[in-house]
Structure 1
Amino acid sequence: MTTSAADEEHVPRTPAPSVVIVSGLSGSGKSVALRTFEDLDFYCVDNLPVELLPAFVRSLMRDDQLPQKIAVGIDVRNRHSDLSKLAQWRAAVTELGFDPRLLFFDANDDALLRRYADTRRRHPLARLGLSLREAIGLEREVVQPLRDEADTVIDTSALNVHQLRRRIVAEFAPGSGTALSLLFESFAYRRGVPTDADFVFDARVLPNPHWHPELRPLSGRDTAVREFLDAQPEVAEYVEQVSQFLDTWLPRLRGETRSYVTIAFGCTGGKHRSVYLAETLAAHARELGWEDVATFHREQD
């Protein structure tokens, strides 16, 4: 049996797998974006050398279970001379049968300076001996070719983590972001309490892994730290009581006009106990059926 050209026109075509290239200024929200894409079941890779983009996509094509949604982080950590060549690597991905989109995150200098002051993290270009403001200015110049090439530019200057997540969900998974979203955040008290937190819990009363040399360089996401804290009776009691509180009161917020809630855990350095608690309570919320649950570690991310 033969198929005519007219018949072929009516055969539905399978949509091309999507590749979202996530880029932007350091501190503008790229890490939050990539975690959001992970929550949306994208296959995510961060800090991929731009010239390896086609090779990376080809490697996925050899897999029997080819991901239909891929997100790749590409930014100033690449060799600067390569960023201007993104268009040709993007074209190569298109020739492989994929639909590449470039999503660029921007923010004004004041917002970026404030975020770096809050987290005390080093800018990727600080190694050049530049001040923070100079590093931000140089980065703008370096990533300008990516901004010019972008399909979508999102200015995050006035967005909090929840608002940024919802913007991404609305753009890339419309219709799936209507539920109350929960953000479990960790922070260091010495750098201030998050201003947008709805509930704040103090973890400084719990045993501190910092005082164990083998645990000090790790974080609350590492197995050794989790096993240490899991074994502490005080930690188990703390988790149980906080879980009971949240299980009682979070469902009652569903009927309010708010669309998101931030639950923050603080400790001295924002590295061990608070991170452990944020991850543990987020996992508990997912087990209870909450659909939109995320974590954010202010001093780590």
Structure 2
Amino acid sequence: MHLVVVSGRSGSGKSTALHLLEDNGFYCIDNLPAGLLPELARQANNAGMDLPKVAISIDARNLPSDLQRFPDLLKQVRESGITCDVLFLAATDEVLIKRFSETRRKHPLTDHSLSLGEAIAAELKLLGPIIDLANLKVDTSHLNLYQLRDILKQRLLGSRGSAPSVLIQSFGFKRGIPVDADLVFDVRCLPNPYWKPELRPFSGRDKQICDYLNDQPDVQEMYQDILQFLQKWLPRYAAGERSYMTIAIGCTGGHHRSVYIAERLLNDLGARTENMLIRHRDLP
């Protein structure tokens, strides 16, 4: 059986994730009490049960004591022989406050003594034991509904070979570092095409930007350093049974240098690494 535990901050997209999994053949359970995880595993291992794919949502609506026990509960499930992925959906405090304000939904932890901002902060602390064990984290701060579904479909439902699913993501520091990044490379020290008026309208995928950056010695030196690092260490991450990994490449605006580096990495690493994806967070 393949079990996916879906967790995350309220307003981050858990319902979207569950609906996607349900549409793709998963038996889904929303807000399962975490203490029932081992029993679910036991039942699933019974010969009479035919549930090859199950997804459950565990979030801050659970008993705090059960959330604290989550590491031990997950260990029991995995020791029973069940393949289990833990997906955690995150977003910044500012984005979550905006989403709740726009939809006028009530946060599950708010009450007469706890404001929305305080509830969001308290929820993050409650979910700490799950965050620490999540093998796939997705930052939904800059994603719309359709982008979130596409990313989850690629990463959760794509090829399940022995190699980890690797996402190379370009971004701009002016909109913040992706909270789901495992490795972050800062390329803001490289020559910036933005300051060339004739190059400004293009992106790092366009020939004009590639030709400019290809002629910069510092760009080539840094690129080779990043490439060699990843060629050496990605196999070791895979050997450590890591299922998912996000490599973030950042420049100032996320349009030129980071996009160029990310595209080259995909081209050079993709030939030898299975399950490699790319996303340019801040491109229009």
TM-score, normalised by the number of residues in structure 1 = 0.51
Superposed, which structure 2 residues align to 1:158-197 within 5 Å? 158-174=142-158
Matched, 1:49 2:21: no
Match of 2:241 in 1: none
Matched, 1:107 2:91: yes
Report the count of equivalent residues: 159
Aligned counterpart for 1:40 among listed residues 24, 37, 47: 24
Which letter maps to 1:21? V
Match of 1:125 in 2: 109
Paired with 2:111 and 2:47, the residues of 1 have a C-alpha distance of 39
Aligned counterpart for 1:58 among listed residues 17, 42, 51: 42
Q: Secondary structure, in 3 states, of the residue corresponding to 1:21?
A: strand
Which letter maps to 2:88? F
Which letter maps to 1:163? Q
Paired with 1:140 and 1:88, the residues of 2 have a C-alpha distance of 20
Residues 189-232 of structure 1, C-alpha deviation per residue, up to 9 Å, x if partnerless? xxxxxxxxxxxxxxxxxxxxxxxxxxxxxxxxxxxxxxxxxxxx
Residues 100-119 of structure 1, C-alpha deviation per residue, up to 9 Å, x if partnerless? 11110100011101110121
Shift of 1:128: 5.9
Shift of 1:18: 1.2
Structure 2 gaps, min length 5: 160-284
Match of 1:90 in 2: 74
Paired with 2:70 and 2:23, the residues of 1 have a C-alpha distance of 26
Q: Secondary structure, in 3 states, of the residue corresponding to 2:127?
A: helix
Paired with 1:59 and 1:128, the residues of 2 have a C-alpha distance of 41
Match of 1:188 in 2: none
Paired with 2:59 and 2:115, the residues of 1 have a C-alpha distance of 20
Matched, 1:139 2:123: yes
Aligned counterpart for 1:79 among listed residues 51, 63, 68: 63
Larger Cα-atom Rg: 1
Shift of 1:157: 0.2
Aligned counterpart for 2:53 among listed residues 69, 77, 97: 69
Shift of 1:63: 6.0
Which letter maps to 1:59? Q
Which letter maps to 2:58? I
Match of 2:220 in 1: none
The 3 A distance-change label for structure 1 pair 112 and 49 is same
Q: Over aligned residue pairs, what C-alpha RMSD do you find?
A: 1.4
- Give me the identity figure in percent: 42
Shift of 1:92: 1.0
Shift of 1:60: 3.0
Structure 1 gaps, min length 5: 1-16, 176-301
Paired with 1:145 and 1:91, the residues of 2 have a C-alpha distance of 13
Residues 56-100 of structure 1, C-alpha deviation per residue, up to 9 Å, x if partnerless? 222233363521111110010011122121111111111221011
Paired with 1:68 and 1:125, the residues of 2 have a C-alpha distance of 34
The 3 A distance-change label for structure 1 pair 143 and 47 is same
TM-score, normalised by the number of residues in structure 2 = 0.54
Paired with 2:19 and 2:52, the residues of 1 have a C-alpha distance of 17
Which letter maps to 1:107? A
Greater than 6 Å deviation, 4+ residue runs: none
The 3 A distance-change label for structure 1 pair 128 and 40 is farther
Matched, 1:21 2:5: yes
